[in-house]
Structure 1
């Protein structure tokens, strides 16, 4: 693309986070970066309910959520719907996560890491080769975006 910005793949983000302060910070940071935060939820059940009615380009989810189901359950459901997911967690993820998620941002992280991380995911989903920021890992993509 000559003299212009590449069109982003990720525009609408669903945040699923059970820590209220982290959820609020993510919502504000992503909004300030020009992303549309579809919703900020804290449970698998609420997220699944929202996905039935809303277009979501990316889910940013903690591994631990309110309720009995985890971020891994959400990742499985997201993959079945063709929606990429990025974990944001301070916990060690199960090996299966690399088959379900696009990547993981390790907590705690800065606004800069979140910005660079989501940008790297966007480019990755667009098929570009990227180097994720320190504190983030990108996995092999498992969902195709149109």
Structure 2
């Protein structure tokens, strides 16, 4: 992510660690996988982020239907760095209110 020009707050493997970042850090976007270590999932992380008004982009191999409740979209694995950057740029445009077409591999929910 940093090589793509973004500041990374942190990379977290558990819900508890991600939730702490969501509560105490200034975050513009949460990039979340569904599978995490521990008992809670990336969907739980997305729910916590949404409660604080932080948009979520899932990056997962098989996004379940409930992802749409919490996220702007889902980038389906496997993806390239270029696809990730394009997906984030599209999410930024969607959040600004623009209507855009999703690039290959990105499912938009908003």
Aligned 8 A contact 2:56 2:71 in 1: yes
Pair 1:92–1:53, CA change in 2 (3 A) = closer
Matches of 1:60 and 1:67, distance apart in 2: 18
TM-score under structure 2 normalisation?
A: 0.95
Matches of 1:97 and 1:61, distance apart in 2: 11
- Report the aligned-residue RMSD: 1.0
Instruction: Specify every segment of 5 or more residues in structure 2 that has no aligned partner in the other structure, as ranges.
Output: none
TM-score under structure 1 normalisation?
A: 0.72
Matched ranges for 1:1-146 at <5 A? 30-93=1-64, 95-140=65-110
Instruction: Specify every segment of 5 or more residues in structure 1 that has no aligned partner in the other structure, as ranges.
Output: 1-29, 141-146
More strand by share: 1
**Structure 1 runs of 4+ off > 6 angstroms?**
none
Rg bigger for which structure?
Answer: 1
